[in-house]
């Protein structure tokens, strides 16, 4: 990759899973919250839905909601927020790609406005992202009822594919996106509006 050359104040967008990290972050988060045995049991109960997703019969959002209802539904907002902060502080570091983090630091040092745009839960991506210097974190929001209990559903759409682009455009409010970094088909729409799109770790056809 070339060094950042956009003017100070330019907007730069980063995906999280697979771009700044080496792997998916949801399962490690759920493992921390539930423990290995309980997570394995929950995923076993959701295996028909996971198989349907793997076969292309179920989309990303509905699969995620099935898993979240099974694993996080019924938990209190305060507890999940505390666990999200703990995961951000103690566990995310081990998942990161050093090269991508160096790229992020270069943009921050150049005075660029970096935004994290991710399908991952904001329970942990927001505290982590703000601590790194991102000006905003756009991600998938877990829904809570009036008593602060997680339903397991998402509040709003899963921040993936076209939804990433919609939220990013709302934030930019007509301003240009100087560069964007992503790794999968869920990032295509976001990267399509960047003056400098960067695909991380795999070809853009993936």
204 belongs to a structural domain: no
39 belongs to a structural domain: yes
Q: What pLDDT tens digit does each residue of the chain (206 aa) get?
A: 444 578 999 999 999 999 999 999 999 999 999 999 999 898 888 777 566 545 564 566 778 888 999 999 999 999 999 999 999 999 999 999 999 999 999 999 999 999 999 999 999 999 999 999 999 999 999 999 999 999 999 999 999 999 999 999 999 999 999 999 999 999 999 999 999 999 997 644 33
* Domain boundaries, position 132: 11-199
* pLDDT score at 55: 58
pTM of the model: 0.91
75 belongs to a structural domain: yes
Is 22 in contact with 96 (CB distance < 8 Å)? yes
β-partners of residue 196 are 179
Q: Retrieve residue 104's tokens.
A: 């992020």
Residue 59 belongs to a domain with what CATH number? 3.40.50.1000
Tell me which residue of 160, 187, 202 sits closest to 14, measured CA to CA: 187
Q: SS3 for 65-83, per residue?
A: HHHHHHHCCCCEHHHHHHH
Q: Retrieve residue 166's tokens.
A: 């919609």
1 belongs to a structural domain: no
Q: Measured between alpha carbons, how far is 120 from 53 in angstroms, rounded to an integer?
A: 17
* Overall domain count for the chain: 1
4 belongs to a structural domain: no
* pLDDT score at 43: 85
């Amino acid at each position: 990759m070339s060094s950042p050359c956009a003017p100070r104040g330019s907007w730069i967008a980063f995906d999280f899973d697979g771009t700044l990290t080496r792997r998916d972050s949801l399962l490690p988060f759920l493992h921390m919250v539930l423990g290995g045995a309980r997570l394995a049991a929950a995923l076993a109960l959701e295996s028909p839905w996971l198989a349907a997703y793997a076969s292309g019969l179920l989309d990303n959002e509905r699969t995620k909601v099935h898993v979240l209802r099974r694993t996080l539904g019924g938990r209190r907002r305060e507890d999940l927020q505390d666990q999200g902060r703990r995961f951000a502080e103690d566990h995310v570091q081990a998942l990161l790609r050093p090269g991508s983090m160096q790229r992020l630091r270069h943009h921050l040092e150049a005075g660029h406005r970096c935004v994290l745009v991710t399908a991952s839960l904001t329970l942990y991506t927001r505290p982590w992202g703000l601590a790194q210097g991102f000006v905003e974190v756009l991600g998938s929001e877990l829904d809570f009822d009036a008593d602060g209990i997680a339903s397991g559903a998402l509040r709003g759409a899963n921040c993936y594919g076209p939804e990433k682009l919609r939220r990013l455009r709302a934030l930019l409010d007509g301003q240009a996106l100087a560069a964007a970094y992503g790794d999968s088909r869920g990032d295509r729409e976001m990267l399509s509006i960047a003056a400098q799109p960067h695909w991380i770790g795999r070809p853009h056809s993936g």
